[in-house]
Chains A and B, each alone.
Chain A
């Protein structure tokens, strides 16, 4: 049973460019959340997708957008990259319960470096 997978592993972009990160959830999971983890910090919630809709969003600008596909996989898009967007981007999958998600399983992350 494959866990959460993310691609690419590493990425280097230039300021102003756009980037797309991808995530495949754990088998049987229907909810995908994205987090940004800056160096030396805990993960910060970006947004969560369920049934192809953004269900909840953290305190991130509109430059951060996402999508969920019918097979539950997801993409995170970041436009107009800034140096401060350099971070490890984590995808977490879960199974939606009656009161939201009860636990999340994380992928290995995508390390984004903006120069």
Chain B
């Protein structure tokens, strides 16, 4: 089974500063990778996904992530954050061979400080 580690449980950052949320996964076999955002009392919204191809993936709201197979990482970045980016962010992985079960990390709470 896969496991996902989000190294930072809380990340405070000032408005308009860059941010990186870190994610590592356990297996080096073929995987699909995802980042989701969850606002208070809401479900999860897909930010971006990596299935294959270019290792730099661009998503919604100015976010991007880079797939690094050798380091089994999929870190999320944004060059300039806004107050509205304050939310919980989850990294998820599924097995690229079976693709059915998604494994989620424990989440990173991003707080943007005015």
Contacts and interface: CB of A to CB of B under 8 A. Distances in A.
A101 B94 contact: yes
Nearest to B49: A103
A61 interface: no
A45 B107 contact: no
Interface in A95-115: 97, 99-109
A102 B48 CA distance: 12
A102 B104 CA distance: 15
The bracket for how many chain A residues form the interface is: 20 to 34
Contact of B100 (A4, A48, A90, A108): A48
Nearest to A33: B102
Contacts, number: 67
A101 B93 CA distance: 12
Contacts of A55: 100
B44 A43 contact: yes
Contacts of A44: 104
B94 A4 contact: no
Given A102-B32, A105-B46, 14 more contacts: A35-B104, A40-B107, A42-B92, A42-B104, A43-B44, A55-B100, A90-B43, A97-B99, A99-B98, A99-B99, A100-B98, A100-B99, A102-B99, A103-B34
